[in-house]
Structure 1
Amino acid sequence: MDAIGQPLPVLHRVPGASRPWLWWLLAAHAAVALLWWQLGWKAGLALMVATHLACLWGVFWPRAAMYGPVLSHLPASDRRVWLTIDDGPSDDTPALLDLLDACGAKATFFLVGERAAARPELVREIAARGHGIGNHSHGHPQAWFWALGPARMRREIVQCQETLRAITGCPPRWFRAVVGHANPFVSAPLRDCGLARVAWDVRAFDAVRADPAGVVAHLESALSPGAIVLLHEGSPHGRNVEMIALLLQRMQALGYATVLPEELERSV
């Protein structure tokens, strides 16, 4: 139940077996053919372009649910937010764990399978400190994740899942798509692994911006109860720990605390 006694919605939504996007696409193409026949090629072509743009929106917009359910905000009514940290484990991980401990904060680390396999002791330490661990693909194919075919998509998700389960003894429940992208082939392996896809509603491009004050100011301006905050570790600019330290300081000043979705699920 939430703060006013209302039941909370289900947060962990694994994709189902149905493919609503496929039926939508078939209906759209039937409409294109009909319009082309009735009104001519200009009208038909315009509708065809529009339907394809809608499909691309489902690929590139992280909160789009065209290719399966996606969680982008928590149903918290008080000042609690979900910190999510992508791309580890990395050299930043030990410092981040100490920082979170010092601030009494919890986060979910969305880990890359190859990096986890290379540094399993860091993965185990994340779990031992009470933080969440999520699946962030096995090889982090940043440039091409959106265009992966069914075999490669399955391999990226399943191999990371198996790697993290072998290290911690517990399979992750959450999946963060690389760059937040999705396509029609993401849902089947998520369903088979029992994974729910997570996006975000607060970000400041901290993986590429080397300005901690500017990054945190942007994050602060977008904070709200239940926000899912996208953060990174191990970025080339080397300032992620500094950014997260400053963010936690500002959150404390504003009266914000952290929450993991499992804590909200237990209160349903």
Structure 2
Amino acid sequence: MSEDPSPPRTPERRQRVQSAEMGMGILKALARLGGTASLTAVATAVDESTAKVHRYLASLIQEDLVVQDSSSQHYRLGPEAIQIGLAAMRQNDPVRRSEPALIRLRDELGVACFLAIMGNLGPTIMRFEEPLLPVTINVRAGSVLPALWSATGQVFLSTLDDAAQWRRLQDELAQASSEQRARLGVQTLDQLRDQVRLQGCAIARDSLLPGISAVAAPITDYSGRVVAVLTALGATGGFDPGLKGPIAPLVLREARAISLSLGTLTAG
């Protein structure tokens, strides 16, 4: 049996660890409270007395991790805390964060998986993973997908706030054939947007390519904004895209995990 190389925790060392944990807890509480809060609100959030929290806040102020507003007496995150946050944000590249999830989905489900972001020309595939027996499809890294007919595009569409683009997509849907509308499964863009929001993902059956189905889920950042979309797709005959099937729950799980790694507070 190997020995634990770490030194034993003396009472003094345990106290330092507990103090660090309390300081971090206060900083996290301030972040959850919107970055600024009263002493009472912070103490309630960490379930400690105001006297104890006040002592810790004084230490955090000395380190520029917290500042106190002279007029309201509220506490807010200080410049050093902001620098830490900015450094973390710079590391939060959704493409890089998604790589392990894409490989897991590919290996666990045996389907093609990709990550897309919204580019200048539309939803653009940035990373593509194929199973051992690839499905013959004409999309690859760099491919631009339609906003209306692909599951990936429908996720981005569900948060679209550009009125001009919305009208253009409405016209595109109005000009679609009855067969295309039937494959889409809805009659209006509003219905499509509401369906994706309710499901938490978009499901496409043969709407982009005949014989191909897909499930796509949003990846959100610290602000709750959709910054990327995680998609799994395969041949319709052997690919069950239903919400209770084997694929959708795993795609949703991986998308939420990536979102949490990016600092989102809305995933789950």
Greater gyration radius: 2
User: Would you call these one fold, judging by a TM-score over 0.5?
Assistant: no
Task: Output the TM-score relative to the length of structure 1.
Answer: 0.28
Name the structure where strand makes up a greater proportion of residues.
Answer: 2
